[in-house]
Amino acid sequence: MLSVSTLEKDKQKYHHGDLRNTLIQIGTEMLIESGADELSLRKIAQRAGVSHNAPYQHFADKNALLAAIAEEGFRLLGDAIDEALQNSQTLSPHARLLAVSRAYVAFALQYPTHLQLMFGAFASETYPSLANRSHQTLAKLMSVVAELEQAGQLAENPIYDVGMVVWIALHGLSVILNAGKIPDYIRQDRTPEILVNQFIDMICKGLLK
Amino acid sequence: MLSVSTLEKDKQKYHHGDLRNTLIQIGTEMLIESGADELSLRKIAQRAGVSHNAPYQHFADKNALLAAIAEEGFRLLGDAIDEALQNSQTLSPHARLLAVSRAYVAFALQYPTHLQLMFGAFASETYPSLANRSHQTLAKLMSVVAELEQAGQLAENPIYDVGMVVWIALHGLSVILNAGKIPDYIRQDRTPEILVNQFIDMICKGLLK
DNA sequence: ACCTGAACACCGTTCAAGT
DNA sequence: ACCTGAACACCGTTCAAGT
């Protein structure tokens, strides 16, 4: 696991230039563990073994660190989607769409505070690499839509719009599930996985006659 | 814009028993003006002309006040939807669905921090009246779906599921628009209104052949 | 260039006390 | 019952200083 070169790189630990990534990593862990309210610059710094002021060497303010943690969140989500694509290689484009959809919602339920942070209001101009990461994530959804297109299964809509519609549905479902806002009389005894499958299928087939 | 009628129904001022509603109203205003970061219990109390401790007479903690402000947000959203229904009485069920959809997204874009608060993680058991309000809002969406049903235009899906699918799409689009996460190559020069119309229509007709 | 420590203005919350 | 004021532990941020 640890090669010599890795060790040498590790020699340049945060005391010599890698504090930035350490802070992002610790922030990510703390966000997963304790939620957004407990996430303070001072606690992150303390856990990194550094004074509460050191972060300002690498981030303009707390918001900049949060943006970096959000960016890391998009990387994690991207990994989850890639894994779903990997595990569904033999299946049909439609089944792969459902697999990716379940992966999206599963990520959302596993890392609710991350999702909230990722879709918080970070200005794209101020945090361009965050915007970039979110676009890369969307691109993974688009690739599945492209498979449907190549299989000749798409109705007459711009392919990018199809991808966006899938995205807004997945994201809306994720947020509403996390907020606990699906009434019991609708939810019944369906798991999130079943809800994703059924709702995405309804969208594929259309709501009206 | 901001209806205060319900909150003003009690003639007793906050010095005589209406501090609770005053705090909710001031909190609502401050959230609209300055965003969620600036929203502190102490500032709300100060603006209400009361000590920073008085709010604890009416709310267990800051979170409880936030939940009440979120609840007020659902009331405002409900008013916006009602207004859209009022203004589209002569139109077809389908056109009314689009009108309500535009109203939802318009509200989201006008009060982005409210929307975030409304869909934050407030436990339904701890804040039952908040959960109730959100269910009432969903019911307004359901009423339009019921019109489609009565007009015989619905495909073979549980009616509640149809309403939920509309809701997740509207909410996902709202969050993603507020987060500024639609890439320019997709957004092109379309306004939010046009995006809502087109995306909801795509969902009505179906994405696949 | 990178980090520390003191200081400042603010925050949510608790407690004792006042009416 | 409703509100106040002092106190506590925390926070983000700035500044001067140390290596």
**pLDDT per residue over A164-200, tens digit each?**
999 999 999 999 999 999 999 999 999 999 999 999 9
A45 CA to C10 C1' distance (Å): 20
In this prediction, residues A33-54 reach a mean pLDDT of: 93
Q: Tell me: pLDDT of B119 over 90.
A: yes
Closest CA to A169 of A101, A108, A99: A101
Domain edges within chain B: 4-59, 63-207
Residues in B touching A154 (Cβ below 8 Å): 207-209
Please determine, for residue A15, whether its predicted confidence score (pLDDT) is greater than 80: no
Burial of A146 (0-12, 13-18, 19+ CB in 10 A): middle
pLDDT bracket for residue A18 (50, 70, 90): confident
Q: Report the Cα–Cα distance between both ends of chain B, in Å, rounded.
A: 43
pLDDT (tens digit, 9 = 90+) per residue, A113-134? 999 999 998 999 999 999 999 9
Kindly tell me if the per-residue pLDDT of A9 is higher than 50.
Answer: no
The residue among B74, B170, B78, B175 whose CA lies nearest residue A207 is B170
Q: Does B160 score more than 70 pLDDT?
A: yes
pLDDT at A12 over 80: no
Counted residue by residue, chain B has a size of 209
> What is the pLDDT, as a whole number, of residue B18?
85
Q: Which CATH class is domain B4-59?
A: mainly alpha
For A63-207, the fitting CATH number among 3.40.50.300, 1.10.357.10, 3.10.450.50, 1.10.10.10 is 1.10.357.10
A31 pLDDT more than 50: yes
Determine, for residues B116 and A112 on separate chains, whether the beta-carbon distance falls below 8 Å.
no
Q: Which residues pair with B208 in a beta bridge?
A: A154
For residue B52, is pLDDT > 80?
yes
Condensed to tens digits (0 to 9), the pLDDT of residues B89-102 reads 999 999 999 999 99
Q: What is the pLDDT of residues B58-77, one digit of tens each?
A: 999 999 999 999 999 999 99
Instruction: Check whether B11 has a pLDDT greater than 50.
Output: no
Which bases on strand C have an atom closer than 7 Å to a protein beta carbon? 2-6, 10-16
For residue B188, the model assigns a pLDDT of 97
